[in-house]
Structures are given as C-alpha cells and as structure tokens.
Amino acid sequence: MKPRKDLSKTLYEKDLYPDEQTFAEDCALIAAERLRRGEIDRRSFVKALGLLGLAPVALKFASGSAAAQAKELVVVNWGGPAMEAYANAWGAPFEKASGTKVIIDGTGPLASKIKAMVEAKAVTWDVCDTGTGTTLVLAKQDVLEDIDYTIVDKTKMAPEFAYQQGCANYMFSFVLTYNKAKLASAPTGWKDFWDLKKFPGGRTLRKQPNGMLEACMMAAGRSQKDIYPIDLNLAMSKLKEIKESVVAWGSGSQSQEVFRTGEVVMGNIWHTRANLLRRDTQGEIVWSWQDGIVTAGMWNVPKGNPAGKETAMKFIASAQDPASQIELFKVMGNGPANPAAASMVPADMRDIDPGQPENMKLQVLQSGYWYEEPSGKGKLTNDELSREMWLDTLSS
C-alpha cells in the first residue's frame, strides 16, 4: 500500500496546504485524481508504481558492483502519478539511448531546496521540473547551470521559452474560465472579466502576479502585442478596481474549489484546472482560449549536479522528442512544448491542448524577458517588484 500512502501524502501536503503552488506540482495532483477516477490505465499505473517503489532500492544494491558505467541521473518532479508518467515518457527512452539510469524523485524541486543544495555543495538532483517564475528567481541567485543550446535544440520549443537557465518541457495556459450557468452571456475577454456590472459575481486571480499582469494589461485596453513592457502601476490600479470581488488562489485545487463553492463566477486559472471544472460540472463551467496567456514548465539544472552538466543537457534534449511529449500530455494534461507535437495530438484532445495552432493564435505567449529586466526600483527585477506590488495591493 505504499503508493497509496504516498499519494495521500501528496494530496494532503501539497494540495491542501495553501502554499503557493507551481503548475508542475499541480499537474501531478490532477493525474492522481484522474487515476482515482479510472481515467488513466490503472493496471500499468499500479505496476509502474510498484516498480518505482522498488527500483531505487534495487539500484542502490546494484550500484556497488556496476557503479563503474551505470551512472544515474536524478530527475525531480512533484510526485504522485507524475513519477510514473515521466519515467515512461522521458526516463525509459533516455535510459535506452544513453545507458544512464534515470531516477525520478517526486519530492518536489522547491526553489529554496535547490538554493540550499547548491550553497551547501551537496547537490543530489540533476534535472528539476519547475516553472518560469522559479527559474527567474533561481537565476538571480546564481545557482543554475546555463542551458547548453548546442545540445538542447532551441527550435524545438517556442523561442519565448528558451531562457538562459531554463527551457520549456511543456506548455500550459492561464485562461479566462467562467460559469455559464451564472452569467447572462459569455465573456469575450479580460475587459469583460473586469466588468462587474455586466457580469456580476466573484472573480479569482492568482496570489502571484505571473500570468495575471498580462490579463490586467489586456483589460486596460492593450492589444496582445503591446502587453510588454507591463505598466505595473496600471496593472495595480486594474487590480484595485475589482479587488473587493477577488478571491486569490494559491494552488490549482484552490482555483477549482472557489468555483465549486460558488464564490466566483469567473477566474484566471490554469487550463488543466479549467478542464477538470468543465468535466465535473458537465460543461457548466468552461473556458475560452481567447487572450489566454501561454507559459511553460521549465527544466533547470542545479550547479554542480552529480551526473554532470552534459548528461543533464542530453536528457533535456531527449525529452524534446514530440512522441514522448504527447505521451505525457495524455496522462498529465500539460501541452507539448515542441511545436512539432501539435499535429500528433489525438483529435479528441485538441481542444485541451494550448499548443494547437487554432488555440495558439487566440493566445499570447508570456515573455520571460520582461520579468528578468531590472525594474529601476532598488535592485529588484520586474519579477520581484511585481510580486511585491501584487501582494501589497491584494492585502491592502
């Protein structure tokens, strides 16, 4: 029963704990939920989890004799079914091609843990599954390796998501989600989101500004291509306009919860959670790709990783294979990062893939570059300043 125990632990600590949560972490939870409902093949899941439970132990014993050539690579994600999904989609192919064992560690690559590891010179992780926000924060702390774009292919991802110290492993979107049953008509964009008269009811926005500022800009009348540079003062005044009606979400499950309790009728939430809401309410709660904000999950490599920088980069490159990304999409719901994968998505799943051309053209790609730039206020980057101002405005 070990897997089940792990699962409930994940659900309890990572999901209920009103911690700010990364998208990657949330995907693991969604997959756990889908497994529970029998939407993912249970037999293979259980089998794989069993194997996973034993595999690290077996490896430990084996490493004594075969250590010479059996190097291992530790990939860290947010646990639960993500362990099996990553192992199948990305671990096994790389193992086969390179002979390097891939171990999936589901303990969660928190930014603070990565920093602590690198600073203590006790790094046990090779590749970490984080987000753009975490990547930028870590980059400033100087604890990540640069992505080696001679090994990792920059053309196999949207150029916006090829950061210096992180690159896309999948894509997801912040989308306008709304409760059809409680609104007279369908909102058509962020301007409608801000229109409390025409669309009365609660709203939900994220506790972190990442993905919200863009919506504020569009609500203020900026066109998609003019979102950046973001005017933070304008964004805060937009937040103030509707703040009384806003409930802020920290974790993905919270964004779902406030819709289900009826506290909000509209929200700016992750498309994976919007999809669950649509399913659970039989299409009462839906989302629109219009003016959605596409962002990406990120691979990071901590400085001084045990398997060496090159091996880590090779793993990242191998995870760019479109077929493997489709496999992950089917289980986890996070859209393939490689544009070449879009045409391989099964027809019935295209409406939940943010990377489909017809969905993509409605949306805007988030620009990490703006977040990295200095804000001009103290030594803060735009990312840091915006976090501070967002929290300040929300709590004032």
Partner 1 sequence: MLASQRHTYWLLIVPAVLLMLVFYIYPLIQVLWISVTEPYFGLQNYEALLSRPLLHRIWLTTLRICAITTIITVTLGYLVAYAMARVGERQRTTMMFCILLTFWLSVLIRAFAWVMLLRNGGLINSALMGLGIIDGDLPLLRNEFAVIVGMVHFMMPLAVLPIYSNMSGIDGRYVSAARGLGASPWEAFWHIHLPLSKPGLIAATILVFVFSLGFFITPAILGGGKVVMISEYIQVSFEETLRWGQATMLASSLLFAVLLTLALVARFVDLKKVFGAR
DSSP-assigned beta bridge partners for residue 137: none
Contact status, residue 12 vs residue 63, Cβ threshold 8 Å: no
Q: Which is nearer to partner 1, 79 or 355 (CB)?
A: 79
Answer yes or no whether residue 77 interacts with partner 1 by CB under 8 A. no
Give the one residue of 24, 49, 138, 298 binding partner 1; rule: CB under 8 A: 138
Q: Which is nearer to partner 1, 84 or 129 (CB)?
A: 129
Answer yes or no whether residue 182 interacts with partner 1 by CB under 8 A. no
Q: How many helices (H) and strands (E) does the chain have?
A: 17, 10
Give the one residue of 124, 155, 223, 261 binding partner 1; rule: CB under 8 A: 261
Answer yes or no whether residue 111 interacts with partner 1 by CB under 8 A. yes
State residue 154 phi and psi, 5-degree precision. -65, -25
Answer yes or no whether residue 233 interacts with partner 1 by CB under 8 A. no
Query: Which CA distances in Å does 155 have to 104, 313, 338, 360?
Result: 26, 15, 8, 17
The one segment of 81-89, 133-141, 289-297, 306-314 that binds partner 1 by CB under 8 A: 133-141
Answer yes or no whether residue 41 interacts with partner 1 by CB under 8 A. no
Give the one residue of 20, 41, 142, 358 binding partner 1; rule: CB under 8 A: 20
**b/e map 20-49, b = 16+ CB within 10 Å:** ebbbbbbbbbbbbbbbeeeebeeeebeebb
Give the one residue of 123, 248, 296, 365 binding partner 1; rule: CB under 8 A: 248
Q: Rounded to an integer, what distance in angstroms lies between the CA atom of residue 204 and that of residue 148?
A: 38
Contact status, residue 336 vs residue 356, Cβ threshold 8 Å: no
Contact status, residue 293 vs residue 174, Cβ threshold 8 Å: yes
Answer yes or no whether residue 18 interacts with partner 1 by CB under 8 A. yes
The one segment of 132-140, 225-233, 267-275, 292-300 that binds partner 1 by CB under 8 A: 132-140
The candidate with the shortest Cα–Cα distance to 189, out of 353, 13, 362, 372, is 362
The one segment of 26-34, 105-113, 152-160, 361-369 that binds partner 1 by CB under 8 A: 105-113
Answer yes or no whether residue 165 interacts with partner 1 by CB under 8 A. no
State residue 136 phi and psi, 5-degree precision. -70, -40
Q: Which is nearer to partner 1, 18 or 53 (CB)?
A: 18
User: Which residues have CB under 8 Å from 30's CB, separation 6+?
Assistant: 252, 272, 273, 276, 332, 333
Answer yes or no whether residue 122 interacts with partner 1 by CB under 8 A. no
The one segment of 1-9, 26-34, 246-254, 321-329 that binds partner 1 by CB under 8 A: 246-254
Answer yes or no whether residue 183 interacts with partner 1 by CB under 8 A. no
- What is the DSSP-derived secondary structure letter of residue 210? T
Answer yes or no whether residue 330 interacts with partner 1 by CB under 8 A. no
Q: Which is nearer to partner 1, 210 or 363 (CB)?
A: 210
Q: Which is nearer to partner 1, 200 or 229 (CB)?
A: 200
Residue for token pair 């590891």: 117
Answer yes or no whether residue 207 interacts with partner 1 by CB under 8 A. yes
User: Minimum Å distance from CB 267 to partner 1?
Assistant: 13
Contact status, residue 194 vs residue 238, Cβ threshold 8 Å: yes
User: Minimum Å distance from CB 132 to partner 1?
Assistant: 13
Answer yes or no whether residue 14 interacts with partner 1 by CB under 8 A. no
The one segment of 11-19, 48-56, 70-78, 152-160 that binds partner 1 by CB under 8 A: 11-19
Contact status, residue 158 vs residue 365, Cβ threshold 8 Å: yes
Q: Rounded to an integer, what distance in angstroms lies between the CA atom of residue 316 and that of residue 168?
A: 9
CA atoms within 13 A on the CB side of 334: 31
Given the rule CB under 8 A, which residues bind partner 1?
A: 12, 16-20, 110-112, 115, 133, 137-138, 140-141, 202, 207-208, 243, 246-250, 261-263, 384, 387-388, 391-392, 394-396
